[in-house]
Amino acid sequence: MIEKKLGKQLRGAVYWALALIVIFLVCGGALSAYLYKTREEVTRNQVIAEAEEYKKRILKQFESDSRLLRTFADLISLKDNNDLLIEEIDKFKADNQFLTILYYNTNGQGIISNMDEDTISGADLNAVAPEARQSILLALEKGEESVSRLFESNISQTRVFVYTVPVYRNGEIIGALSASDHIEIFSEILSGDTVLGGGGYIHLIGSQGRFLIKSPKMIVKENIPTIFDGAYLSDSEKETVMTALTNQERLFSHFKNNGSSYLFLLEPIGINGWYLLCVNTGEGLAANTHASALVTQITFLGIFILIIVLMLRGYRLLRNYSRDLLGYAYHDQLTGAENLLRFRQRLYEALNNGGGSVAALSIRQFPFINEIFGRERADKLLCLIKEKAECHLTQGEFFCRDTMDSFYLFFRDTEEDLLKKRIEEFMEDVCRNTDISHKDYRLALYCGVASTTEVKDSEEAAEALMTHVQFALSSAKGHHDSSIWFFDSELHKTEELENYIESHMHSALEDGEFKMFLQPKKNLDTNRIEGAEALVRWHTPQGRQIFPDSFIPLFEKNGFCLKLDMYMVEQACKQIRSWTERGIEPIAISVNQSKLLFFEENYISMLKDTLKKYNVPAGLITLEILEGLALENEDILNERITALQAEGFKISLDDFGSGYSSLNTLGKLKINELKLDRDFLLKASGENSQRVRLIMEYIVKLAETLGISTVAEGVETTEDEEFIKSIGCKTGQGYLYSKPISAAEFDEKYMSRD
Ligand code: C2E
Ligand code: MG
Ligand code: MG
């Protein structure tokens, strides 16, 4: 039981701990995911902010260059002289960092001013690079400002691009002014160390993914011309990057290098489909957030491991503690034997596999042994019993020590003789080996045994056995002649009933559980029912009917008869009153009176009070006393009888002939009626019947002479009736006429007015 409970508690604790771990893991996971998400979000926002900043700087560069070109275009629109124009262009060229300045009029004739070279006049438009020509034509034909694609300059031998603006005079396009520059002018802008706080770098790429400006800090060491080269992007990533480039959209993606994944942003600049490719290397500022997330994760992991370790330790401690506790809970500390708790558990289990017997063993006068021989020797005796029990029990048998000198032993055997032999041998072994002996004292053990053979419900059977063995033990304790006492179920039932009777009698009387039954008395001359005897029946609330033989002797002993008999007198009076009130001529009712009540001091006054209460004449009440009463105080009895008769009561001597009746007594008692015990009639038809019949005849005759009427009890057959009639008996009572029946049935059967 305890084992199960502890196991359950332990399991409960483990479940709780597991639940806590799960909560902890979920919280940790959620926190970690949140941190990761936040970190990712922060990084992305930071990357976007940085990219936008660099984009702004590049656009600013473009803007300032084109503004410069526009201002110069306004200036040259005023010069219609070619030489003056060349002069202005050369001057402009010398004042700025542009590589080449080109001016073409609408006729396709142009001036080209190159670094370190002489200015060419009358240059053909077809002679310039197609990228530059396209840009110039846009300005000449549509008046659009533009920036050309990158191309290899055959003048500077470097990759360049051109800005072109239209030149207006009087609102009409008269020419196109272009200036070329190295793409590297943006390198300065992009090569800073401050990108993402040192944790990133930026490339400038073209609309097809070609690197226009590569950052010197790039982590990919391979010299690849476009971002699609090498195995840095997966196929799907390549596809999304391509789509984003085509649509000029911003895109976040990842590439792989040396097994690590890197976040990058593609930010369109808005010129020529160029893009900024901003890479986050995870170092610098980003490394800090990454590190803090890592620290958080490690902390969580550390706490998690700590909890697991503590839990395992706690679990082990708890398990050991439970084991110790079970040891204490199941064992007797003095002898080391198992205790009653464990015995009961084992008994349930054992009875599951069939029947068995339990013996409860005690030591006679154990407190005396303790006192005379000392505690130590008494304890030694208890330990000896434990040792011997271990030796005498066989496979599947067990025992325990409860408290003091109380031991219980379970035997597989149920056969009484065999058990008796085994227990005797065990007891003898203990007595032979103990040092508790003295010339005036011999150690004695006693034992109660209860057995069960058929077991349906082992728990119920075990409980019953434990109760029964206690009864057997108390019987053994009370009988010094026999030291082993077997439980007797019949005896136990009687004891049980007595116990019920004693504990319930008061409430039963209050609750009206005692019922008055009536048995008719027949006048054999008139053949009429002229009287009835009130006989008590106990109807329990459980529907059980208990007969007086089961409780009257007990009530006589415990004094409750005083109350019950007076109650019955009252019931008889009530019945007579009821008949009178219904206009039915009442008949006399005989009520049995116990010895106790008969000699009660205020007996007569109590009777008178009851009679008065129901207004019933005393002549209708016959008081039946037992012949045993006459044996003790004849004179006092006669005094009582005379006093009662003076009040009008009739006195009947019941069960005459059942005990030590003597005709002498009959002569001395002043009774009105004599009831011949049922035993007479029984014997009158058996052996010596003639003698019995003769005695009966004489008794009836003697009674008649003394003026005492006779009633024969136990008339069961017509032969009985014939016989009692023949000897002059005037009244008969017995089953031949009726068994005792309830007052209501009696009423209906014998007292109806018809
Ligand atoms: P009792 O006063 O001698 O009552 C007669 C008993 O014999 C009754 O048993 C009755 O049922 C039984 N009996 C009557 N006719 C026959 C028959 O033809 N054959 C057999 N075999 N038995 C017959 P009951 O009612 O069980 O009462 C037993 C005894 O209990 C009574 O013997 C009486 O001594 C006592 N008793 C009954 N009621 C009371 C009561 O209210 N107070 C006292 N003090 N004792 C009572
Ligand atoms: Mg009687
Ligand atoms: Mg009787």
Cα torsion at 151, 152, 156, 157 (round to 10°)? 160
480 or 224, which is more confident: 224
pLDDT category, 481, cuts 50, 70, 90? low
DSSP 140: I
Protein residue whose Cα sits closest to atom 10 of ligand 1: 740
Query: Stretch 169-180: mean pLDDT, rounded?
Result: 89
Q: Look at residue 482 in the predicted model and tell me its pLDDT.
A: 67
Of all ligands present, the nearest one to the C-alpha of 676 is 3
565 lines ligand 1 (CB under 6 A): yes
547 lines ligand 1 (CB under 6 A): yes
Exposure string for 57-94, b = 16+ CB within 10 A, e = fewer = ebeeebeebbebbbebbeebbeeeeeeebbebbeebbe
pLDDT category, 477, cuts 50, 70, 90? confident
Ligand 1 atom showing the smallest separation from residue 733 Cα: 15
DSSP bridge partners of 201 = 279
Least confident stretch, 77-81, 342-346, 588-592: 77-81
300 or 609, which is more confident: 609
Query: Stretch 27-39: mean pLDDT, rounded?
Result: 77
CA–CA separation, 482 vs 459, rounded Å?
Answer: 30
Asked if residues 438 and 451 have their Cβ atoms less than 8 Å apart, the reply is: no
Query: Which residues 6+ apart lie within 8 Å of 468 measured at CB?
Result: 450, 487, 489, 492
Ligand 1 atom showing the smallest separation from residue 568 Cα: 41
DSSP bridge partners of 592 = 624
Q: Look at residue 516 in the predicted model and tell me its pLDDT.
A: 98
CA–CA separation, 422 vs 388, rounded Å?
Answer: 12
677 lines ligand 1 (CB under 6 A): no
Q: Look at residue 114 in the predicted model and tell me its pLDDT.
A: 80
CA–CA separation, 312 vs 323, rounded Å?
Answer: 16
Ligand 1 atom showing the smallest separation from residue 715 Cα: 18
Distance 593 CA to ligand 2 centre (A): 8
Protein residue whose Cα sits closest to atom 37 of ligand 1: 535
Pocket test for ligand 1, best of 513, 516, 539, 552 (most atoms within 8 A of CB): 552
Q: Look at residue 75 in the predicted model and tell me its pLDDT.
A: 86
Q: Look at residue 287 in the predicted model and tell me its pLDDT.
A: 59
Residue 144: is its pLDDT beyond 70? yes
Query: Stretch 489-514: mean pLDDT, rounded?
Result: 89
Protein residue whose Cα sits closest to atom 2 of ligand 1: 592
Q: Look at residue 290 in the predicted model and tell me its pLDDT.
A: 65
Of all ligands present, the nearest one to the C-alpha of 734 is 1
Per-residue pLDDT reduced to its tens digit, 557-602? 899 999 999 999 999 999 999 999 999 999 999 999 998 888 888 9
CA–CA separation, 67 vs 305, rounded Å?
Answer: 66
Q: Look at residue 284 in the predicted model and tell me its pLDDT.
A: 54
568 lines ligand 1 (CB under 6 A): yes
- How many CB atoms are closer than 10 A to CB 667? 11
Distance 424 CA to ligand 3 centre (A): 48
711 lines ligand 1 (CB under 6 A): no
DSSP 138: I
Ligand 1 atom showing the smallest separation from residue 740 Cα: 11
Pocket test for ligand 1, best of 536, 592, 675 (most atoms within 8 A of CB): 592
629 lines ligand 1 (CB under 6 A): no
Per-residue pLDDT reduced to its tens digit, 99-136? 888 899 888 888 888 877 778 888 888 888 888 888 89
627 or 194, which is more confident: 627
Instruction: Identify the CA nearest to 52 among candidates 182, 181, 202.
Output: 202
Query: Stretch 236-249: mean pLDDT, rounded?
Result: 88
561 lines ligand 1 (CB under 6 A): yes
48 lines ligand 1 (CB under 6 A): no
SS3 742: strand
Q: What is the mean pLDDT of the chain?
A: 87
Proportion of the chain above pLDDT 90, given as a percent: 43
717 or 664, which is more confident: 717
Distance 517 CA to ligand 2 centre (A): 12
356 lines ligand 1 (CB under 6 A): no
Q: Look at residue 288 in the predicted model and tell me its pLDDT.
A: 60
Least confident stretch, 226-235, 246-255, 306-315, 463-472: 306-315
Distance 624 CA to ligand 1 centre (A): 11
Distance 589 CA to ligand 3 centre (A): 14
CA–CA separation, 279 vs 218, rounded Å?
Answer: 8
Query: Stretch 412-421: mean pLDDT, rounded?
Result: 95
Distance 608 CA to ligand 3 centre (A): 25
Instruction: Identify the CA nearest to 71 among candidates 107, 96, 99.
Output: 96
Of all ligands present, the nearest one to the C-alpha of 548 is 1
Ligand 1 atom showing the smallest separation from residue 594 Cα: 44
Distance 547 CA to ligand 1 centre (A): 9
Ligand 1 atom showing the smallest separation from residue 597 Cα: 44
Least confident stretch, 8-12, 67-71, 261-265, 531-535: 8-12
CA–CA separation, 95 vs 89, rounded Å?
Answer: 10
Query: Stretch 475-503: mean pLDDT, rounded?
Result: 83
Protein residue whose Cα sits closest to atom 30 of ligand 1: 548
Distance 592 CA to ligand 2 centre (A): 5
732 lines ligand 1 (CB under 6 A): no
Protein residue whose Cα sits closest to atom 34 of ligand 1: 592
Instruction: Identify the CA nearest to 248 among candidates 55, 3, 16, 23.
Output: 55
Least confident stretch, 284-288, 440-444, 559-563: 284-288
pLDDT category, 428, cuts 50, 70, 90? very high
Helices (H) and strands (E) in the chain, counts: 23, 29
DSSP bridge partners of 579 = none
Distance 573 CA to ligand 3 centre (A): 21
592 lines ligand 1 (CB under 6 A): yes
Q: Look at residue 660 in the predicted model and tell me its pLDDT.
A: 66
Proportion of the chain above pLDDT 70, given as a percent: 95
Query: Stretch 84-88: mean pLDDT, rounded?
Result: 84
Of all ligands present, the nearest one to the C-alpha of 536 is 1
679 lines ligand 1 (CB under 6 A): no
Least confident stretch, 160-174, 357-371, 625-639, 663-677: 625-639
Distance 657 CA to ligand 3 centre (A): 10
Protein residue whose Cα sits closest to atom 23 of ligand 1: 714
594 lines ligand 1 (CB under 6 A): yes
Q: Look at residue 187 in the predicted model and tell me its pLDDT.
A: 75
Task: Indicate the pairing of strand 275-280 with strand 260-268.
Answer: antiparallel
653 lines ligand 1 (CB under 6 A): no
- Calculate Rg over the CA atoms of the chain: 63
CA–CA separation, 153 vs 146, rounded Å?
Answer: 18
Query: Stretch 176-195: mean pLDDT, rounded?
Result: 78
237 or 182, which is more confident: 237
Residue 619: is its pLDDT beyond 80? yes
628 lines ligand 1 (CB under 6 A): no
Residue 638: is its pLDDT beyond 70? yes
- How many CB atoms are closer than 10 A to CB 691? 11
Query: Which residues 6+ apart lie within 8 Å of 646 measured at CB?
Result: none
Amino acid at 25: L
Q: Look at residue 323 in the predicted model and tell me its pLDDT.
A: 77
Per-residue pLDDT reduced to its tens digit, 680-733? 999 988 777 899 999 999 999 999 999 999 999 999 999 999 999 999 999 999
Q: Look at residue 709 in the predicted model and tell me its pLDDT.
A: 96
pTM score, whole prediction: 0.50
